[in-house]
Every structure is written in C-alpha cells, then in structure tokens.
Amino acid sequence: MTRLESNGSTLIRIGIFYDGNYFFHVSNYYLYHHARRSRISINGLHQFIMTETARMEKTSAHLCRIVDTHYFRGRISAHDAQARDLLYRERIFEDILMRENVITHYLPLSPDGEKGIDVWLALESFELALHKNFDVLVLIAADGDYLPLVRKLNTVGTRVMVLGWDFSFVDHIGNERETRTSQALLESATYPIIMSTVIDSPARRNDPVIENLFVKDRNKNTPFEPDEPEPDAVDSEALFGTIVTLREGYGFIHPGNGGDNLFFYYGDIVGCDFNDLKENEQITFVQSENERGPCAKNVKRVAD
C-alpha cells in the first residue's frame, strides 16, 4: 500500500492506544498530587501527539492525522456500578471519549482486578497497524508487558511513540507511591517521550501545547474517574463537621458533636471537587472505619 499524498506531501497516519487504567492513574496524579491541580485533557493530549509527531517526522502538523484511537479498560458489572452510584459518572466519561472519536474496549473486572486487557490491547493494535497501515502508533502505557508488541510493530515498519510518566507521591495513608515507565519499553520505541519531564520542563513553560494538555474547566470537561460517587441527597446518618486541614488529596474534619478529628480522602467527596473545598468550611459526613481507625465518608458541602 502506498502512503497517502496531500498536495504533493505525505500524510502521516497516527493510531493511538490507551491503557485506560494507567491513563486514569496519571490523570489523578495531576489532579490531586501535582501543582497543576487539573486532569489531563484528551483533546489536548491528541493535539500534543500531532505536534510532536510532526516535529519528529520533520513535517508539518497539518499533515499528521489521527485516524484511529482506542481506549482499553476493565469494567465492573452494571449491577455493581448501580449499587455504587457509578453509572452516571461512567456515562459522562464515555461521552467525552465519544466526542473525541475514541473507540472504547471493556472487559469485565475479575475479583483479582484487570485480566487480559494488555493482551487485548496488544492484539488489537498490531492487527490494526497491519490493516490500516499506521505510520506512527502511539502507546499510552508504561508496562514492560507491552515490549513484545513494540518489537513486533518494529518488524512491520510501524514507528512507535510511547508516552510514559515518571512520578512519585505520598498517598492518603502515608505510603510513598511511585510510577515508572519500563526502560526496555522506552528503548524499543522509535519516539520515547517521558511526559512528566516534558510537562515540567522550564523550557516549555507557557507553551500553549503544554498548557492545553490540562482541562481548564473541570466542572464541564473533566473526564471523571469512574469510581467517583455521584452526588445525591444528604445521608440520614450524616453528621455536621468542619474541615480543619487540607493536604494533597486528603484532609481532616472536626466533628460538630466533638471528639477526635476524622481523616477523609478525595475519593470520599460527593457533589464537588476536592480542590474546591476550603479549610474552616462546614460539611456533612458519615462516620466510618478504615484500616487505621475512624474516618469520614460521604463528605458533602453544606448547601448555602
């Protein structure tokens, strides 16, 4: 198959493949643990990919076109999603993917988590690379399990761009969490890009391509995480309290009826974004328990 021509210039056909669980982990990091305090914009990421492809292929950005985009992730059953008030949030995110022409691929989650997603992504991407003759295949993933895929793509002449992130942070129970992209995966790619380095580079400060990587209005455009609870009415067991401390992704509440301050995590917030909360703000919550003792769940702002 010959490569497409446009006004005498060669078009670069791009296929993008998301490891969905990894993408959400990265997006959560930028929302809750990075100074950006915003999720990654899928539209902005696609614009970045076209711009970087043009630079690396030494051509014009308008000649680099995304022709296929696929998103792979494990998914809980409809029954479990309804029981956990997740159906609405999942639909919002799917609407965002649909607007960006992203084709979704889901497998049911097993009790042990995601099983088979990486294999499915690898098989699908290799088959499409053969049939659709991608010039550049973009892999948004970090796992070394994708190394055989990259090597196979190299044998058929498809250039591979790997977008990976390296970062660390302290989670809500004080454990240090670290994410690193497989070095072997990067070394096998034609165009390896560590996005965390690019984003934080002083040389690209105020670069509009980098700025557009992040959602500007979270309330309208954020790809909500599927495990974020849907806003609902105040629980009949709800108590009143005051936020006394806010940190990166967690905080503490002083109960209105007295007693020790209670820990809460960003995933326990209902009806607003964690970053919209303020210290000394009155909220309602339901007292619960975690592995470290009493905590607050179902945390909601008090209506004006």
214 DSSP assignment: B
Summarised one tens digit per residue, pLDDT across range 113-138 is 667 899 999 999 999 999 999 999 99
pLDDT at 294: 87
| Each residue's pLDDT tens digit, 222-243 | 444 444 333 333 344 688 999 9
- pLDDT tens for 61-112 read 999 999 999 999 988 777 776 666 667 777 888 899 999 999 999 988 765 5
pLDDT digit string, tens, across residues 187-201: 999 999 999 999 999
CATH 2.40.50.140 placement within the chain: 239-301
CATH value of 239-301 in 3.40.50.2300, 1.10.1040.50, 3.30.420.10, 2.40.50.140? 2.40.50.140
Interacting residues of 245 by C-beta distance below 8 A, sequence separation 6+ = 251, 252, 261, 279
- Which of 69, 68, 70, 71 has the alpha carbon at shortest distance from 20? 71
The token pair that represents 29 in the structure block:
């990091």
Measured at the CA of 22, the angle between CA 18 and CA 25, to 5 degrees, comes to: 135
pLDDT of 304 > 70? The answer is no
Task: Please name the residues in contact with 270: beta carbons below 8 A apart, sequence gap of 6 or more.
Answer: 229, 230, 231, 232, 298, 299, 300
Residue 245 in tokens:
């401390």
Topology annotation, domain 5-221? Rossmann fold (3.40.50)
- Backbone φ and ψ of 108, nearest 5°: -65, 140
Model confidence over 162-194: pLDDT tens digits?
Answer: 999 999 988 766 778 899 999 999 999 999 999
Q: Which residues have a Cβ under 8 Å from the Cβ of 119 and sit 6 or more positions away?
A: none
Enter the DSSP assignment of 153: H
- Average pLDDT score over the chain: 85
Identify the pLDDT of residue 114. 64
**Which stretch of 1-5, 56-60, 86-90 has the lowest confidence by average pLDDT?**
1-5
Grouping H, G, I as helix, E, B as strand and the rest as coil, residue 268 is helix
Residue type, position 127, single letter: E
Two tokens at 145? 């399990």
Residue 118: both structure tokens together = 């990486």
Give the three-class secondary structure for 1: coil
What's the CA gap between 156 and 170, in Å, rounded? 42
- The string of pLDDT tens digits covering residues 252-303 is 999 988 888 999 888 788 877 787 788 999 999 998 887 677 889 889 888 6
At 2, is the pLDDT very low, low, confident or very high (cuts 50, 70, 90)?
Answer: very low
Q: Are 231 and 92 in contact (CB under 8 A)?
A: no
Calculate the dihedral angle through the C-alpha atoms of 111, 112, 114, 115, rounding to the nearest 10 degrees. Answer: -100
Terminal CA-to-CA distance of the chain, rounded, Å?
Answer: 64
Token pair of 260, please? 């020790």
Q: Report how far residue 60's alpha carbon sits from residue 76's, in angstroms, rounded to the nearest whole number.
A: 42
Beta partners for residue 294, in sequence order: 289
- Range(s) for CATH 3.40.50.1010 in the chain? 5-221
